[in-house]
A and B are shown apart, each in its own frame.
Chain A
Amino acid sequence: MRALLAVGAAVLAALVLGFPYLVNAYWLSVGVLAIFYAIVAASWALLAGYAGQFSFGHMAFVSLGAYTSGLLVVSFGVPIPLGIAAGIVMCALVGSGIGFVCLRMRGPYLALFTVAFSEVLRIVIVSENEVTGGSGGLEVPPMFHIKSDMPYYYLGLVLLGASLAIMLALVHSRWGLFFRAIRENEEAAAASGVKVVRFRIIAFAISSSFAGLAGGFFGHYIAILTPDIGSVDQMGLVVAMAVIGGAESIVAVTIGALGLEFLVEALRSYGQWRLVLFGALLLLTMRFARNGLLALGWEYAKAILPLSLWEGVGGRGRGLNMTNPSPSPRSASQPEPTRGGGVS
């Protein structure tokens, strides 16, 4: 099985790297957009799936990052990479502020608050047309002055890879453990010594930073910024991508976002009906596969494929071991363990 996985990974890597040479310009641009959505959806999953903070204003941070970079580059001649970096910092700061203000908000209240933030930002961008270009949009310089989208694709891949590496390292660190503990039970997390306020704000700041990065990349790719980037429609799309992929796994969300962006474009000839299909898929996922379609598929694969194939990859035998007997009775004389690894 391990060899099979290795071969599969190699084929997948070759397909991803060779993608620009296999498709036409249209599908290459879809690939770039899919990468953009993958970064946004993965960073939203970090906040909502891991830290349990259901923000509906994530696309507002994409917009904020894009406009911060765009305005700095257009108005002050700042180099594009520096502009994008400034957008990331701006999103981290504003994200911290939003995280602080929302400390006591949960569930629908948090969602509504972040929708309101998103709309306020969008209306400000529309209203301040002398600075932002308003509804007509703000033209910003592209990153690469060539006709092909190929450099954007490869740059996007690098950004996606780096973002995923950082996010995965984060969720497997003690911070990731604390995020999940807060998601599961804030009171118990606090009683366990987790600084809940600090980690809620950190989750918001980090997640917003990645949204800002995606926004900067997107802005200098399409070269025109409009207030619609941060619209509720766009946010709904990102949430759907994350939920269908599996919001509690960064990798599943990424695959979900990439897959759905391609699916939506592939079904474009069906017009609005493709969105109906998309909505139905979302409803079915929420009803029958709360952990996303990929987790469901993985479970089915494990159930269907022969046991021998999973040996050596930890596919079975990890996680729940329902065959475990009840805990063995402890000896009455067994002493309490002490800190530092010794036994008193």
Chain B
Amino acid sequence: MSPIIEARTLTRRFGGIVAVRDLDFAVGHGELVGLIGPNGSGKTTTINLLTGHLSPDAGHIFVRGARADGLAPSAFAALRVGRTFQITQLFSRMSVLENMLVPGLARPHSHRAQATREARQHLEFLGLAALENMQAKNLSGGQQKLLELGRALMLDPEILFLDEPFAGVNPYLRDEIIGLVRRLHAGGRTFVIVDHDIEALQRLVHRMVVMSRGEKIADGTVAAVREDQEVLRAYAGV
């Protein structure tokens, strides 16, 4: 079976800096992948490339076998590729429910009643149901992260990229997010999670990809990656 998403020799430069270089990366259905690396290693650039927020300078992206590089982010969303952001990006002065309805109504052939019903079910799932009329900017940081996840779920994504979901959250919420991801994964969704919190990722993911200076330096099981000497050198400075 072809991967849900695949990058082939993907390259992206910013001026003279090569943020991502010749990256080959594929994610199959039902995988739960961790993407780690030191600051500036190209993780977020990779997510931005694989969700249409950046266009590659070279290389190709395939979604379910079809060429997707150069498509707009909205086209990736329509292909059921969802994402969250490193710094939470919400529609701050819109209500929680309206935040959920934007992707719900952006889907082709969607209806407001059905989208509202789905939004409320997701909010219930995320524990935000009681706050549906509150403006997003008035939520706590943790609630904002959950809302962003809920908004991505409204796309009914087959694959979800989570960019640093554990950054700046307390241990209780971190466990909460881990629990949610596990349940969503058990429901058939595929995840790629970028984070610095390796402890949290180890508890969650089955496969780990390590990047350094824009290149993939390791890709394997968590145990294998932990023993990889190049990873230790690049990531931990050992």
Contacts and interface: CB of A to CB of B under 8 A. Distances in A.
Given A184-B91, A196-B74, A320-B138, A191 B51 contact: yes
A193 to B, nearest CB: 3
Given A191-B51, A196-B74, A329-B127, A184 B94 contact: yes
B19 to A, nearest CB: 18
B129 A327 contact: yes
B57 interface: no
A330 B130 contact: no
A192 B106 contact: yes
A285 B74 CA distance: 37
A329 B52 CA distance: 35
Contacts of A147: none
Interface stretch (B21-29, B62-70, B97-105, B206-214): B97-105
A341 B118 contact: yes
Nearest to A190: B73
B125 A188 contact: no
Nearest to B82: A191
A324 interface: yes
B234 interface: no
B233 interface: no
A191 B94 CA distance: 16
Contact of A195 (B72, B124, B125, B179): B72
A193 B92 contact: no
B83 interface: yes
Given A184-B94, A327-B128, A330-B127, A321 B105 contact: no
A190 B118 contact: no
B133 A320 contact: yes
Interface stretch (A128-136, A172-180, A263-271): A172-180
Contacts of B218: none
Interface residues of A, number: 40
A196 B76 CA distance: 13
B151 interface: yes
A337 B125 contact: yes
Interface in A296-344: 318-321, 324-330, 332, 334-341, 343-344
A189 interface: yes
B122 A192 contact: no
Contact of B102 (A181, A320, A328, A343): A181
A15 interface: no
Contacts of A340: 114, 118
Given A177-B102, A184-B91, A190 B74 contact: yes
A128 B177 CA distance: 66
Contacts of B112: 174
B133 A319 contact: yes
Interface of A: 174, 177-178, 180-181, 184-185, 187-197, 318-321, 324-330, 332, 334-341, 343-344
25 contacts: A178-B102, A181-B102, A184-B90, A184-B93, A184-B94, A185-B91, A187-B73, A191-B83, A192-B102, A193-B78, A193-B102, A197-B72, A320-B135, A324-B130, A324-B131, A326-B130, A327-B128, A327-B131, A334-B125, A335-B187, A336-B187, A338-B187, A339-B118, A340-B114, A341-B121
Which 8 pairs, one residue from A and one from B, show the smallest C-beta to C-beta distance? A337-B121, A193-B106, A193-B77, A190-B73, A192-B103, A184-B91, A188-B89, A327-B127
